Each structure stands twice: as C-alpha cells, then as structure tokens.
Amino acid sequence: MGSILNMASFAVLRGPVEQLKHMFSLQRLPFTTAYLGSMVLTLWAALVVQSYVMVVLFALLQGA
C-alpha cells in the first residue's frame, strides 16, 4: 500500500502523464518492470500463496 501511495504522490507532483512517460522511458524501463513486478508478486505471495517467506523476499526486492 505504501509503494502505491508513493507512486501516486509523484504522479500528483509531476502530473500523471509525465510520471508515466518518465517511468516507462527506455532508461527507466528495467527498473520500472522490476518494481511493479515485485509489487504484484508481493500481493500474490500474500493473498494467493500465503507464504511469509515469499512475501518478505518480494518486499525486499521492492526496496532494493
């Protein structure tokens, strides 16, 4: 939840279209993919698999 709010706050400051352009620019694309993927995998591990170890692992990837 905090990661989503963090991204939303930057979208408010920069404007949502400009923020998305920045996130999906060629230089930022690998980092954006890894970050969004780790958020989705964290939710999947918590809600579907219900694995504490996987949640911690994917949460750590978000902060890396």
pTM of the model: 0.76
Q: How confident is the model at residue 62 (pLDDT cuts 50, 70, 90)?
A: confident
Query: Reduced to 3 states, what is the DSSP secondary structure of residue 1?
Result: coil
Degrees to nearest 5, angle at CA 41 with 39 and 43: 70
Structure tokens at 15: 């404007």
Q: What is the pLDDT of residue 22?
A: 93
20-52 pLDDT, tens digit per residue, is: 999 999 999 999 999 899 999 999 999 999 999
DSSP string, 5-63: HHHHHHHHHH-HHHHHHHHTSTTTHHHHHHHHHHHHHHHHIIIII--HHHHHHHHHHHH
